[in-house]
Amino acid sequence: MTVKINTAEQAASLIDKYDTFLFDCDGVIWVGNELLPSVKETIELLQSKNKKLIFVSNNSTKSRIEYIEKLLKLNINNIKLEQIINSAYSTAIYINEVLKLNKDKKIWVLGQNGITSELQNFGYETLTLDDIKDKELTMENINNLIDLNVGCVVVGLDFQLTYLKLCITLQYLLNKDIPFIATNIDSTFPFKNTKLPGAGSVVEIASFSSNRKPDAICGKPNPGMMDSILSHHKLNKDKTIMVGDRLNTDMKFGSVNDIDTLLVLTGIELESTVSNGHPDVTYYADKLGDLYALGSK
Ligand SMILES: O=C(O)[C@H](O)[C@H](O)COP(=O)(O)O
Ligand SMILES: [Mg+2]
């Protein structure tokens, strides 16, 4: 049974029921670089009640440290590094601890420095188009742009996507011995009252052109994200809630991990998709900030 949170009593009872809050970021905490209404007050209210807060984002464009910096810029304080779990970090953990890629192999990254930073933190050498020097960066020169030491490909969201980057990615993926790792499958993400292509859309281009599906997808709802959380935190699943804006990642992540969920309508999903109930959605609300705002009327 899916319940809408729209009274002070419902907000208070939800806060009391859980001791751990897993927060998705894009569409829940912020949209782009703008904090959503009453988020700061809600986080501070939960901190004052000694709740455990963990930020669980599929966004791989930033490293965890850059997430802390973004939160501080938005005046959200007292968040420690281990409270940030994003798909760039879970991808690095996967490659290091599951794939166990040899450190003498380079990793070609179609994505941003969130991915390269987290991989470098595990001792991997990463390669992006920006790293290729003293070569003509054109498709005519494609055969001279391939590094034979590349042993893995990671594809994530890249705001500087180019055709040449896709050409180089394809060359590596044509070699079936090179693992194809996707950070996440989000088709879009919310931005400036609209939505833009997400990592999943970039992964689809690499996948379609190479006729390969990713060998691993490291973001929500896949198990790697929960494994990454559990590598830092003990969770009582009965007292943990996943707060997100997307059904096929955040809410699915909650349901596959047997934890309750709160869908907020400040990101991707519309009220019409949930108002008649959804099996993966325990509660829904107009915004995360209602956990504070409803009680402060
Ligand atoms: O890859 C993307 O499309 C975005 O980074 C993703 O949608 C945002 O991740 P979230 O914080 O909503 O999990
Ligand atoms: Mg989101």
Q: Mean pLDDT over residues 38-60, rounded? A: 98
Instruction: Report the percentage of the chain scoring pLDDT > 70.
Output: 100
The pLDDT tens digits for 112-170 are: 999 999 999 999 999 999 999 999 999 999 999 999 999 999 999 999 999 999 999 99
pLDDT averaged over the chain?
Answer: 97
| 50 labelled binding-site residue | no
26 lines ligand 1 (CB under 6 A): yes
CA geometry: angle 221, 232, 112, nearest 5 deg: 60
Ligand 1 atom at shortest distance from the alpha carbon of 27:
12
| 24 labelled binding-site residue | yes
Cβ-in-10-Å burial (0-12, 13-18, 19+) of 95 comes to buried
Give residue 171's pLDDT: 98
**Count of Cβ atoms closer than 10 Å to residue 180 Cβ:** 22
* d(C-alpha 46, C-alpha 266), whole Å: 20
pTM passes above 0.90: yes
- Report how far apart, in Å, the C-alpha atoms of 161 and of each of 47, 152, 173 are: 39, 19, 17
The two three-digit tokens of residue 12, written as one number: 């208070």
Question: Is 238 part of the annotated catalytic residue set?
Answer: no
Distance 167 CA to ligand 2 centre (A): 29
Give residue 291's pLDDT: 98
Ligand 1 atom at shortest distance from the alpha carbon of 244:
12
| 113 labelled binding-site residue | no
Question: Predicted confidence band at 296 (pLDDT cuts at 50, 70, 90)?
Answer: confident
Residue nearest to atom 6 of ligand 1 (CA): 59
**Ion ligand 2 residue ranges (Cβ < 5 Å):** 24, 26-27, 245, 267
Instruction: Report the percentage of the chain scoring pLDDT > 90.
Output: 98
Ligand 1 atom at shortest distance from the alpha carbon of 250:
13
Domains in the chain, please, with CATH?
3-58+221-296 (3.40.50.1000), 101-217 (3.40.50.1000)
Look at residue 43 and give its three-state secondary structure: helix
Residue 7 in this model has a pLDDT that exceeds 90: yes
The pLDDT tens digits for 165-186 are: 999 999 999 999 999 999 999 9
Using alpha carbons, select from 99, 139, 116 the residue that is nearest to residue 61.
116
Helix (H) or strand (E) holding 14: helix 8-17
The pLDDT tens digits for 260-295 are: 999 999 999 999 999 999 999 999 999 999 999 998
Using alpha carbons, select from 128, 56, 115 the residue that is nearest to residue 88.
115
* d(C-alpha 156, C-alpha 24), whole Å: 17
Using alpha carbons, select from 109, 253, 238, 233 the residue that is nearest to residue 186.
253
What is the ipTM score, two decimals? Answer: 0.97
Write down the residue that tokens 């409803």 correspond to: 294
Give residue 44's pLDDT: 98
* d(C-alpha 122, C-alpha 96), whole Å: 7
Q: Mean pLDDT over residues 223-228, rounded? A: 93
Q: How many helices (H) and strands (E) does the chain have?
A: 10, 16
The pLDDT tens digits for 83-102 are: 999 999 999 999 999 999 99
Give residue 297's pLDDT: 79
User: What DSSP string runs through 261-294?
Assistant: EEEETTSS--GGGTTT--TT-SEEES-TTHHHHG
Question: Is 26 part of the annotated catalytic residue set?
Answer: yes
